[in-house]
Amino acid sequence: MFKRRGFLLIVLSLLFAFGAAWVARGWLQSRLAVNKAGDDMQVVAAATEIPFGIKVESRHLRVLTLPRGTPLGDHFAKPEEVVGLVALQKVLPGEILLKQQFATGAEGSTLAAVLKPNMRAIAVRVDDVVGVAGFLLPGNHVDVVESRLADQRAVTTTVLRNINVLAVDQTAAQDKDAPVVVRAVTLEVTPLQAETLVKARTEGQIQLTLRSPMAAADDYAPPPPPPAPAPAPKKAVRKVRFVVRPVPQDAITIIRGINVQQTHSSG
């Protein structure tokens, strides 16, 4: 009798365990169905490294599924939205792509796509010295110094400050640290700065000085102007008074050499 009761308890325990597992399975499937219906979202991430200044291809992308509501910023939902855009900065593998990291490349070359609105790109011929011994790379900021002759004397002036380097020769990648011998540097300037640069290059020679990334945009303080020369002392002016005496109407003036004599007419 006790054996029969023990066997019955074991059977009931197994039935209860099976029922609990069945209920848990159903609840889990319902939760997964709800998540698939609207609690997940798709975002586009980088499958490989995307260098600066290149057009994005499908091989650069992959899709991730994340819980809806995850704070990501202005991201892309489909790979088709990213293909053909130009990277404005280097993107690492696995990084979620944001819209402010890319620009449209439909207007022309990739260099034109990375230009900021109302800015211009101008190329400057350089050598080892002007190119800061080859350590000038895309993404650096430089000052432009002009040197010219004026009245047989050398005059040096900083004509442009805090100018962004877009490309070195035909390289726009920003992931290089080794020095590179270049022949031209492309700078990002405003139209007015482009005119100033062309004028400085025509009047004399220009030199590029590399700025520190920590330097402020307006850290250059021009030397104080020379003091004004002291005014010359005023010379004393001697005043001479002339007295004009009236000549009588009946007087006659007789001049003999240096002698002047006046006589009055009679009657």
Condensed to tens digits (0 to 9), the pLDDT of residues 220-239 reads 555 556 666 667 676 666 66
121 has a pLDDT exceeding 80? yes
Q: Which two tokens stand for residue 54?
A: 């290149």
Q: Could you tell me if residue 250 is inside a domain? A: no
Residue 256 identity (one-letter amino acid): R
pLDDT in tens, 30-46: 666 655 545 678 899 99
Using 50, 70 and 90 to split pLDDT, how confident is the model at 191?
Answer: very high
Question: Does one domain contain both 124 and 205?
Answer: yes
45 and 123 in a common domain: no
**Backbone dihedral angles phi then psi of residue 222, each to the nearest 5 degrees:** -65, 150
Residue 124, SS3 per DSSP: strand
pLDDT in tens, 132-149: 656 777 888 899 999 888
Considering the domain architecture, whether residues 100 and 125 belong to the same structural domain is answered as no
For residue range 54-109, list pLDDT tens digits in order. 788 899 999 998 887 777 888 898 999 999 888 877 888 999 999 888 877 655 56
Confidence of residue 188 (pLDDT cuts 50, 70, 90): very high
Residue 260 has pLDDT above 80, yes or no: no
- CATH number for the domain harbouring residue 66: 3.90.1210.10
CA distance linking residue 193 with residue 210, whole number of Å: 18
Mean pLDDT of the chain: 76
Instruction: Give pLDDT, residue 128.
Output: 59
Q: Are both 103 and 176 inside the same structural domain?
A: no
- For residues 165 and 139, the answer to whether their CB atoms sit within 8 Å is yes
Residue 177 pLDDT level (bands cut at 50, 70, 90): low
Q: Are 153 and 147 in contact (CB under 8 A)?
A: no
HSE on the CB side for 97, CA within 13 Å? 32
> Of 159, 176, 210, which closes a domain?
210
Are 160 and 80 found together in one domain?
Answer: no
Which domain range does residue 94 map to? 41-112
User: Is residue 63 a part of any domain in this protein?
Assistant: yes
Instruction: Please indicate, yes or no, whether residues 105 and 123 belong to a single structural domain of this protein.
Output: no
Give the model's pLDDT for residue 44: 92
Model pTM? 0.50
CA nearest neighbour of 57 among 82, 27, 77:
82
Residue 185 in this model has a pLDDT that exceeds 80: yes
Specify the pairing of strand 141-150 against strand 153-168. antiparallel
Report how far residue 237's alpha carbon sits from residue 14's, in angstroms, rounded to the nearest whole number: 131
Q: Are residues 123 and 95 in the same domain?
A: no
Residue type, 207: Q
Whether 123 has a pLDDT exceeding 80, the answer reads: yes
pLDDT at residue 155, as a whole number? 87
Q: Which of 183, 210, 237 is the last residue of a domain?
A: 210
Number of domains into which the chain is organized: 2
The reported pLDDT for the residue numbered 72 is 80
Domain end, chosen from 210, 236, 257, is at 210
Has residue 130 got a pLDDT over 70? no
C-alpha 199/C-alpha 180 separation (Å) is 28
Whether residue 105 sits in one domain with residue 60: yes
DSSP for 132-185, please give it. GGGT--TT-EEEEEEEEEETTEEEEEEEEEEEEEEEETTB------S----SEE
Under 8 Å between Cβ of 191 and 167: no
123 and 168 fall within a common domain? yes
Name the one residue in this structure whose structure tokens are 């009236």: 246
